[in-house]
């Protein structure tokens, strides 16, 4: 299974709230833990799109995201017995992705805050409306990359995944006021670094 994920059949449809509601995860995971490979493939297909977005947010580059996506799925397959029963699988997959990336980056130094191409692999000049917009995008990426990884994660859940603060609190284990405070401070930092507005959180 490769990224970016594609849609097209019933198994690609996510649960209504895949980050906080188990949906079909419980029964499929139980079958997978008994050795049912088809059930595990269904779990992966249910959650591969948000997992791909997580990998993109972590690495900020399509090629690196693809590697992380594949490594996360391989690790999850090996460690399927440790997946939380009766709870959503997606937060567990995302945690694995974050742990794998942190482990890979140890000793390598920080990755570039802005890549040679856009995160999706397109050249910076392609599709741009002008140099001003390119610079704004680069500033935003640079500022995001300078945030602590935990704050990047909170912003990803809020802005990319569009989760309410209560769901983010449930996923991260942080109190709702703490979630709101950290996201607000992260947004203030981004605004300060970029001079841009509009990160509606």
- pLDDT, position 132: 65
Please choose, from the candidates 94, 113, 106, the residue with its C-alpha nearest in 3D space to the C-alpha of residue 171: 94
Please choose, from the candidates 50, 18, 49, 54, the residue with its C-alpha nearest in 3D space to the C-alpha of residue 149: 54
CA distance 182 to 201: 12
pLDDT by 10s per residue, the chain, length 201: 555 554 444 444 445 699 999 899 999 999 999 999 999 999 999 999 999 999 999 999 999 999 999 999 999 999 999 999 889 999 999 999 999 999 988 877 777 788 777 787 788 775 545 566 788 888 888 889 999 999 999 999 999 999 999 999 999 999 999 999 999 999 999 988 877 544 444
Q: Tell me, rounded to whole angstroms, the distance of Cα 99 from its chain centroid.
A: 12
- pLDDT, position 158: 96
- pLDDT, position 115: 79
- pLDDT, position 194: 79
CA distance 50 to 57: 10
- pLDDT, position 3: 56
CA distance 22 to 86: 7
- pLDDT, position 16: 67
- pLDDT, position 14: 46
- Within 8 A by CB and 6+ apart from 21, the residues are 15, 88
Cβ-count burial of 70 within 10 angstroms (0-12 exposed, 13-18 middle, 19+ buried)? middle
Q: Tell me, rounded to whole angstroms, the distance of Cα 158 from its chain centroid.
A: 11
């Amino acid at each position: 299974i490769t990224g970016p994920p594609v849609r097209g059949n019933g198994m690609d449809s996510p649960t209504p709230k895949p980050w906080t509601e188990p949906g079909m995860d419980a029964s499929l995971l139980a079958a997978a833990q008994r050795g049912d490979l088809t059930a595990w493939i269904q779990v992966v297909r249910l959650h591969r799109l948000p997992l791909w977005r997580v990998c993109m947010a972590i690495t900020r580059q399509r090629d690196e995201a693809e590697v992380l996506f594949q490594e996360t799925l391989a690790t999850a397959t090996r460690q399927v017995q440790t997946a939380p029963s009766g709870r959503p699988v997606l937060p567990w997959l995302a945690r694995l992705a974050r742990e794998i990336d942190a482990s890979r980056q140890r000793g390598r130094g920080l990755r570039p805050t802005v890549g040679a191409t856009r995160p999706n692999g397109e050249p910076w000049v392609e599709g741009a409306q002008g140099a001003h917009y390119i610079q704004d995008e680069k500033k935003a990426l640079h500022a995001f990359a300078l945030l602590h990884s935990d704050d990047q994660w909170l912003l990803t859940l809020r802005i990319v995944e569009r989760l309410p603060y209560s769901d983010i609190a449930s996923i991260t284990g942080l109190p709702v006021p703490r979630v709101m405070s950290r996201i607000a401070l992260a947004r203030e930092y981004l605004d300060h670094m970029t001079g841009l507005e509009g990160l509606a959180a």
